[in-house]
Amino acid sequence: MDKLRDQILNSISEAVFTVDKNFRITYFNSAAEELTGYLKEEVINKVCKRVFKPSNCCSKCPMLMVLESKKKVTDYYSDICTSAGETRQVKMSATLLRTDEGEPNGGIISVTPISDIEKLRLELIEGTDFHGIVGRSQKMRDIFNVIRDVASSDSPVFIQGESGTGKEMVANAIQTLSGRRFQPFIKVSCSVFHDNLLASELFGHVKGAFTDAHRDRLMQIKLLRVLQEGTFERLGESVTRKVDVRIIAATNIDIKSALANGSLREDLYYRLNVVPITVPPLRERKEDIPLLVNHFMKKFTTVFKVQEKTIDDEALDILMTYSWPGNIRELENIMEYLFVRSQRETRITASKIPASINSAQPVAQPVHERYLSELLAGANTESDRILKVLQKHRWNRGKAADELGMGRTTLWRKMRLYNIDME
């Protein structure tokens, strides 16, 4: 029977492998060998994530999703690492394997490489998720490129941005793509601790160390020493210890002011700021709002276990013109509010949007005026026609797309192509 199974599975072109309930590989067909570069004998009895090092296994695992939902998972996108160390984008499907008594005892996973055409389709049509970060604006794509470039190094990263812009998501993406992805990722919110408690949180302490053990040593000096030398002492102890860590720091403070008033040491800042990343506020990447709205709609459909909803053009336009001082966190809260208000409906309408957002003055859009004065003087190129129709419908993307005879996503793609943004 096993020989027949092997003949059947080895005859298909799709990569297939099975795992037991401890996620150890129990079967590996010929197509899987060809796709990954691993021989069956090299991977049998090994934990699958240790072999393939998938980019999002730590946060989302197709087999865990199957175990939780008891349903088959299809078209799950991920990156895997081949035996040669190359990264390949793949699409996975997973389903449970059961004992004769019906108890789950493992799973079967099929893996298909993503074609270049499908990659383009995902980027242009779906294209929203970079290791948990939603966005396709140029500013975000620039950040994604930086993350890809620096993730494999151990250089310190300094992430700046307003509250709610997604700085922690950037840090998570760096960790996910790094060689330390399977090592502990310890997050400490420094602002909630007094110096002594923060020193204990970061470096540890000996018994009775919280009276005067910190003495005159400043926390920033201790951090600087870790960055420069990789050494530290526990609070209340003089024994020097070595440490092998990578530091990713994030802040929403005004760095120039902090340096000027002395609350941030210059030498520490320059050691932290080896790889600077500035996450833009949502008002500077408004072309990402429809993608974020779609992302949160999918999320809250799952959270509230309700039927999938749509959002009408007027409601989306209101969300597009609001300035979002609370950034993505505020948008997520508003989307949750809209779901709570629309639980018995399949469509989110403008009437459900809070007055504080609906009545807010839209952010000025001088780019519109610049484009209109420079480009709408009788030209008949596609970019000019799109601008004319957008002006006609007062920048209502839904109505403009209908008149232009294209989908909303296509219109957004062409607006990006012709550099027609919302700034």
CATH of residue 304's domain is: 1.10.8.60
The answer to the question of residue 299 being in a domain is: yes
Residue with tokens 């520490």: 268
Classify residue 237: in a domain, yes or no: no
What pLDDT shows up at residue 364? Answer: 40
- Asked whether residue 24 falls in the same domain as residue 139, the answer is no
**In order along the chain (423 residues), what is the average pLDDT of each group of 10 residues?**
72 88 90 92 90 66 75 80 83 87 87 69 56 88 93 94 95 90 85 68 67 52 83 79 91 92 89 95 92 88 84 88 94 94 89 84 41 38 77 79 76 74 52
Determine the pLDDT at residue 205.
67
What's the pTM? Answer: 0.59
User: 133 and 108 share a domain?
Assistant: no
Range of 32's domain? 1-114
* pLDDT of amino acid 370: 36
Structural domains in the chain (count): 4
Write the DSSP string, 186-205.
----GGGS-HHHHHHHHH-B
Distance CA 330, CA 328 (A): 5
In a shared domain, residues 17 and 105: yes
Residues 135 and 276 in one domain: yes
Q: What is the pLDDT of residue 374?
A: 38
Strand pairing of 347-348 and 310-311?
parallel
Q: Do 14 and 99 belong together in one domain?
A: yes
Q: Are residues 165 and 21 in the same domain?
A: no
Among 114, 144, 166, identify where a domain stops. 114
341 and 386 assigned to the same domain? no
What is the pLDDT, as a whole number, of residue 38? 93
The reply to whether 33 and 132 lie within a common domain is: no
Cα 286 → chain centroid: 17
Note whether 295 and 129 are within 8 A (CB): yes
Residues 301 and 347 placed together within one structural domain of the fold: yes
The pLDDT assigned to 123 comes to: 52
